[in-house]
Amino acid sequence: MSKVYSIQICKSHRNPMEKVKKAKLISNIGIDEDIHASNQGKKKNRQILLMDIETLNSFNLETGIIKENITTQGLKINDLKSNQKIQIGKSIILQVTGPCEPCPRMDEIRPGLMKEIDGKRGILAFVERGGIINEGDKIEII
């Protein structure tokens, strides 16, 4: 079974992610209080970044360090394709907008990480239908 392993909110650039047990996802906007939320309601490719704990573990990285909002368990995040949809819990639906390209900040975490993690930094998603997300919520591909 695939599930939400952890949830992180980015309150400001260059600061550590804030780990939370639950968060409010708002349709067409993103995560409430997250810096990547689109308060104009315009569709942004990056409202949410998802990454799986298995990939983080393979790079010996802790949750939130690569700035992912939702860390999953049991779901091969990097295999998801653009326009695929996933359901989290009973109501939340996210639409994949594409892979997240590694940026030079990855090398600030560890020299060479930007190149190492290329093609494996997770996926970006748009909130199609919002709701409250909790650690442990079930995730399904629809």
**Beta strands at 2-9 and 70-73: parallel, antiparallel or unpaired:** antiparallel
Where does the pLDDT of residue 12 fall: very low under 50, low under 70, confident under 90, or very high at 90 and above?
A: confident
Question: Smallest Cα–Cα separation from 45: which of 127, 111, 132?
Answer: 127
pLDDT in tens, 88-97: 999 999 999 9
- CATH number, domain 2-141: 2.40.33.20
Q: Which residue type sits at 88?
A: I
| For the chain, domain boundaries | 2-141
> How high is the pLDDT of residue 36?
83
Whole-angstrom distance, CA of residue 129 vs CA of residue 93: 5
* More confident of the two residues 12 and 139: 139
Global pTM reads 0.93
pLDDT in tens, 13-62: 778 899 999 999 999 999 999 888 876 555 566 799 999 999 999 999 99
Mean pLDDT, all residues of the chain: 92
Q: Give the whole-number percent of the chain exceeding pLDDT 70.
A: 95
